[in-house]
């Protein structure tokens, strides 16, 4: 029958006879047995936990890798949020540019080019989002590795650096776009300024047409490559002058529009080239990272499986050895406990027999002593009773003699006062004393 810890703790020894088991020795032995059983139980539980941990296969490294992947996922989410915010800002600025362009009505081609660039930027953002999703999938596929956590963290850091590089190129592209928009805004301002000048010239022409023939010459300044002066001396010369002014203003406006369109075309071409280059580099980097990640994932998975199998085999072998050792130690402890118990039982029986013999001898001795004391006390009681009888007789005789003496004796003096011989005469001031005196007489 196996002895449990609870049974050892609940066992109590009762003292049936005097000089039996020593309670301190018994308690000490029980405490040692309890401590041994508790240590064996704790060691067995620890070994079982180690076996379970080894069988599960590197959970700590997986947890650390999973935390690193979660941090990278949070970083990707933050980047996506930044991209969405930047996209919203771009849309707001595009809306402002559209409003300004519609109000001006002079840069439809430039607005179309900007819208095309915005669409291309959105396409690049979507492509970058797809690349981020591919990287996320790679993260998920790499989450099963256990022993290559440091190497995987290095790979993740490299991919993060490449992602930051792509993010920097995206920022440069956004800066180029902002520069293009600033230049477009400057061109719009120049067009508006030229429109104001053209309107001013048209107003002057109208005033010349409605004005009367002037006697004095009138000079007009025209805008061109350099300062030009047209002198009108007569009314007949006014119409060619006005025509010349209109022609000069139209040529200047056309030249400004052509320069603006040429500048917009150049900026658009540069933006397209930059976007294409960034896209090609991003695609190449994503493909390279994907290939490296797949290769690393396969290698890490293979090594993790081999390591898990090896650790599981070693753990099972170690568990068997530990269980066998624990069983051997348990059997040895049980055998030692049984031998000690038998030894204690034999000692207890011998001591019990000795106690019984000592008790019988002590009982006989006590009975003989008590009988002698009883005889002695009986003799003393008889003497005391005899003394009591003599004392009673002597005491009673003495009392009777004294009573007889009291009855026959007289305590009054021989000569009586005359007052006692006279009788009662009237009322006395001391009637009670008189009554006592008469009663005594």
The domain segmentation of the chain, as residue ranges, is 53-322
Block residue for tokens 């006879």:
17
Instruction: State the Cα–Cα distance between residues 274 and 294, nearest whole angstrom.
Output: 30
* DSSP-assigned letter for residue 102: H
Please, which residues bridge with residue 176 across strands? none
Residues 6+ apart with CB under 8 A from 285: 162, 165, 166
**Per-residue pLDDT at 222 exceeds 50:** no
| Confidence at residue 386, expressed as pLDDT on a 0 to 100 scale | 92
**Per-residue pLDDT at 295 exceeds 70:** yes
Instruction: State the Cα–Cα distance between residues 70 and 86, nearest whole angstrom.
Output: 24
| Confidence at residue 407, expressed as pLDDT on a 0 to 100 scale | 82
135 in Cβ contact with 159 (< 8 Å): yes
Residues 6+ apart with CB under 8 A from 119: none
pLDDT digits (tens, 9 = 90+) for 302-332: 887 787 788 778 877 877 888 888 788 878 8
Task: Quote the crossing angle between the two packed helices 23-56 and 238-408, to the nearest 10°.
Answer: 170
More confident residue, 295 or 225: 295
Range with lowest mean pLDDT among 10-14, 81-85, 88-92, 426-430 = 426-430
In this prediction, residues 65-69 reach a mean pLDDT of: 61
Q: Which band of pLDDT confidence, cut at 50, 70 and 90, is reported for residue 213?
A: very low
| Confidence at residue 35, expressed as pLDDT on a 0 to 100 scale | 79
- Taking the alpha carbons of 204, 205, 206, 211 in that order, is the dihedral positive or negative? positive
Selection from 253, 100, 120, 256 nearest residue 181 by Cα: 100
Instruction: State the Cα–Cα distance between residues 199 and 211, nearest whole angstrom.
Output: 18
Joined together, the tokens standing for residue 379 give 């003799």
Query: Which stretches does DSSP call E strand in 137-182?
Result: none
- Taking the alpha carbons of 187, 193, 197, 203 in that order, is the dihedral positive or negative? positive
Residues 6+ apart with CB under 8 A from 318: 50, 51, 54
Joined together, the tokens standing for residue 281 give 């580099």
| Confidence at residue 223, expressed as pLDDT on a 0 to 100 scale | 42
pLDDT digits (tens, 9 = 90+) for 142-166: 454 444 555 655 666 776 676 667 6
| Confidence at residue 381, expressed as pLDDT on a 0 to 100 scale | 92
Using CB atoms within 10 Å of the CB of residue 332, give its burial: 0 to 12 exposed, 13 to 18 middle, 19+ buried: exposed
Question: Can you spell out the DSSP letters for 3-51?
Answer: PPHHHHHH------STT---HHHHHHHHHHHHHHHHHHHHHHHHHHHHH
**Per-residue pLDDT at 215 exceeds 60:** no
Block residue for tokens 């280059």:
277
The 10 Å Cβ neighbour count of residue 268 is: 16
Q: What is the pTM of this model?
A: 0.24
Joined together, the tokens standing for residue 243 give 């025509």
Please, which residues bridge with residue 352 across strands? none
Block residue for tokens 């000089």:
19
Joined together, the tokens standing for residue 26 give 């018994």
Joined together, the tokens standing for residue 135 give 């990287």
* Element of type H or E holding 229: strand 228-232
260 in Cβ contact with 187 (< 8 Å): yes
Q: Which band of pLDDT confidence, cut at 50, 70 and 90, is reported for residue 2?
A: low
More confident residue, 270 or 154: 270
More confident residue, 181 or 217: 181
* Residues present in the chain in total: 441
Joined together, the tokens standing for residue 195 give 């429109």
Please, which residues bridge with residue 218 across strands? 232
| Confidence at residue 67, expressed as pLDDT on a 0 to 100 scale | 67
Q: Cα 104–108–113 angle (5° rounding)?
A: 130
Instruction: State the Cα–Cα distance between residues 265 and 187, nearest whole angstrom.
Output: 13
**Per-residue pLDDT at 340 exceeds 80:** yes
Block residue for tokens 């047409």:
209
Using CB atoms within 10 Å of the CB of residue 303, give its burial: 0 to 12 exposed, 13 to 18 middle, 19+ buried: middle
3 in Cβ contact with 334 (< 8 Å): yes
Please, which residues bridge with residue 222 across strands? 228
């Amino acid at each position: 029958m196996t002895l449990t810890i609870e049974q050892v703790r609940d066992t109590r020894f009762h003292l049936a006879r005097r000089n039996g088991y020593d309670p301190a020795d018994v308690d000490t032995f029980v405490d040692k047995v309890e401590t041994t059983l508790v240590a064996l139980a704790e060691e067995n539980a620890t070994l079982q936990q180690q076996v379970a941990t080894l069988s599960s296969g590197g959970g700590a490294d997986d947890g650390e890798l999973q935390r690193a992947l979660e941090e990278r996922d949070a970083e990707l989410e933050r980047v996506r949020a930044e991209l969405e915010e930047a996209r919203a800002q771009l849309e707001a600025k595009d809306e402002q540019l559209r409003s300004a362009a519609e109000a001006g009505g002079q840069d439809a081609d430039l607005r179309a080019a900007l819208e095309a660039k915005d669409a291309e930027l959105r396409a690049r953002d979507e492509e970058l989002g797809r690349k981020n999703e591919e990287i996320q999938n790679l993260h998920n596929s790499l989450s099963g590795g256990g022993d290559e956590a440091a190497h995987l963290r290095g790979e993740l850091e490299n991919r993060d650096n490449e992602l930051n590089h792509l993010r920097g190129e995206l920022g440069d592209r956004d800066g180029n776009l902002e520069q293009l928009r600033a230049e477009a805004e400057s061109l719009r301002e120049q067009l508006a300024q030229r429109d104001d000048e053209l309107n001013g010239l048209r107003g002057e022409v109208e005033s010349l047409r409605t004005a009367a023939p002037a006697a004095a010459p009138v000079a007009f300044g025209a805008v061109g490559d350099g300062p030009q002066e047209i002198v009108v001396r007569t009314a007949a010369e006014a119409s060619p002058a006005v025509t010349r002014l209109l022609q000069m203003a139209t040529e200047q406006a056309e030249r400004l529009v052509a320069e603006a369109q040429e500048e917009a075309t150049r900026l658009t071409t540069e933006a397209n080239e930059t976007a294409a280059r960034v896209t090609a580099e991003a695609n190449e980097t994503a493909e390279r990272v994907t290939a490296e990640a797949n290769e690393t994932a396969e290698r890490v998975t293979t090594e993790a499986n081999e390591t898990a199998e090896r650790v599981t085999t070693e753990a099972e072998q170690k568990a068997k050895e530990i269980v066998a050792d624990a069983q051997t130690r348990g059997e040895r402890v049980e055998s030692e406990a049984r031998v000690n118990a038998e030894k204690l039982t034999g000692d207890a029986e011998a001591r019990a027999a000795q106690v019984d013999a000592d008790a019988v001898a002590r009982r006989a001795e006590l009975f003989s002593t008590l009988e002698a004391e009883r005889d002695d006390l009986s003799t003393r009681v008889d003497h005391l009773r005899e003394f009591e009888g003599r004392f009673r007789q002597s005491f009673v005789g003495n009392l009777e003699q004294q009573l007889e003496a009291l009855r026959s004796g007289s305590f009054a003096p021989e000569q009586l006062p005359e007052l006692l011989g006279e009788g009662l005469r009237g009322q006395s001031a001391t009637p009670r004393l008189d009554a006592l005196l008469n009663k005594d007489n």
